[in-house]
């Protein structure tokens, strides 16, 4: 009997080990590449950036380090509504509690279920270890019949053998660990007839309540929340929606840095990657420089450059700059009108 139990345990252990190996081999690595540096960082972060692809492309943590000595991570994810950002923030603070949480409000008008693209849900959830917080977040953001694949990604990715055998693997995002969650999109595009408006949408938008919950969550953890709207092409309606956040920010007493309304941060004719308002590397550098100056002016953020404990940030910066030079600096990128 004892021998049989031992053999069964041994066999089950071998099965679990094989499944772990297969899980590692079969899963997409996009999420790991985006978030691995976040989970591996031992010194914590001064600032965490949350929100949509406008943050993902528009804020460069490495340039924030280079120019201000501030440690930050870009948690931005494509088409992420604020109702989800609330959960991303919650899960992020399971690992690191920053001094400041900067929240992009571009998707303030979108409800959770209408905006968040399926693949980007995986881009966020796949790297997160299974935890009670993750289960809560998945339950809150996913329909009941679609939760398992986020809690056990192998249930989805076991079917990738076909793609892997055929050598037909494409990356979803261009994030490398040294980008600290951000990405570079080397292109230029301009939207015609683009005009600014300072009008604001009246009434409650789906993201307003999420912003209240985000602020409460931040305060609960001793974190300073900051709402931002990054500059970039946006429709009149999108601008009005973003402008409406000023009301909520005032109600909560949270700073709202509406960079859309600040002239001269970016060159709208050269610094956008596409007409949807994503910033290219030049635009991201300008927006990051402005944000860094604003954050260091308003908060007591220690300049950590030169601190031996943060030497790995300098190593990553070198990698980042080499990458940026390769894909952007000195390149003749045509303007696509």
CA dist 284 to 1, 64, 278, 324, Å?
66, 11, 9, 12
When the beta carbons of 42 and 170 are compared against another protein, the nearer one is: 170
Residues that bind another protein (CB under 8 A): 4, 7, 10-11, 14-15, 18-19, 22, 26, 146, 148-149, 155-156, 158-159, 161-162, 165-166
3-class secondary-structure state, position 279:
strand
CB of 3 to another protein, least distance (A): 10
When the beta carbons of 152 and 216 are compared against another protein, the nearer one is: 152
Distance CA 33, CA 323 (A): 15
Decide: 295 and 101 in contact? Cβ < 8 Å: no
When the beta carbons of 117 and 250 are compared against another protein, the nearer one is: 117
Distance CA 61, CA 178 (A): 10
When the beta carbons of 16 and 325 are compared against another protein, the nearer one is: 16
CB of 157 to another protein, least distance (A): 8
CB of 288 to another protein, least distance (A): 38
CB of 11 to another protein, least distance (A): 5
CB of 178 to another protein, least distance (A): 32
Tokens matching residue 89: 């923030």
DSSP state string for 76-102: --TT--HHHHHHHHHHHHHH---SEEE
Which position has the token pair 């991303």?
A: 88
When the beta carbons of 160 and 304 are compared against another protein, the nearer one is: 160
């Amino acid at each position: 009997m004892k021998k049989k139990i031992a053999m069964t345990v041994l066999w089950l252990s071998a099965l679990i080990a094989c499944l772990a190996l297969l899980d590692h081999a079969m899963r997409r690595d996009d999420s790991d590449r985006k978030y691995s540096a976040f989970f591996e960082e031992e010194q914590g972060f001064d600032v965490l950036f949350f929100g949509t692809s406008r943050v993902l492309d528009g804020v460069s943590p490495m340039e924030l380090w280079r120019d201000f000595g501030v440690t930050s991570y870009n948690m931005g994810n494509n088409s992420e509504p604020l109702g989800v950002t609330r959960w991303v923030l919650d899960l992020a603070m399971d690992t690191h509690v920053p001094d400041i949480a900067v929240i992009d409000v571009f998707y303030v008008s979108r409800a959770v279920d209408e905006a968040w693209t399926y693949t980007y849900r995986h881009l966020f959830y796949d790297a997160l270890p299974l935890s009670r917080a993750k289960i809560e977040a998945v339950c809150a953001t996913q329909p009941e019949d679609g939760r398992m694949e986020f809690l056990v990604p192998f249930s989805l990715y076991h079917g990738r053998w076909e793609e892997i055998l055929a050598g037909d693997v494409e990356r979803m995002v261009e994030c490398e660990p040294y980008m600290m969650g951000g990405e570079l999109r080397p292109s230029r595009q301009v939207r015609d007839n683009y005009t600014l408006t300072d009008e604001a949408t009246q009434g409650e938008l789906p993201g307003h309540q999420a912003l209240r919950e985000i602020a409460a969550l931040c305060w609960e953890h001793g974190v300073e929340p900051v709402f931002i709207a990054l500059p970039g092409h946006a429709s009149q309606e999108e601008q009005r929606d973003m402008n409406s956040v000023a009301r909520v920010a005032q109600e909560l007493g949270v700073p709202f840095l509406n960079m859309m309304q600040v002239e001269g941060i970016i060159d709208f004719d050269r610094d956008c990657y596409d007409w949807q308002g994503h910033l290219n590397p030049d635009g991201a550098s300008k927006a990051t420089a402005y944000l860094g100056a604003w954050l260091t002016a308003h908060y007591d953020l220690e300049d950590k450059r030169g601190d031996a404990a943060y030497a790995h940030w300098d190593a990553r910066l070198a990698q980042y700059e080499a990458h940026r030079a390769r894909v952007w600096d000195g390149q003749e990128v045509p303007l696509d009108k």
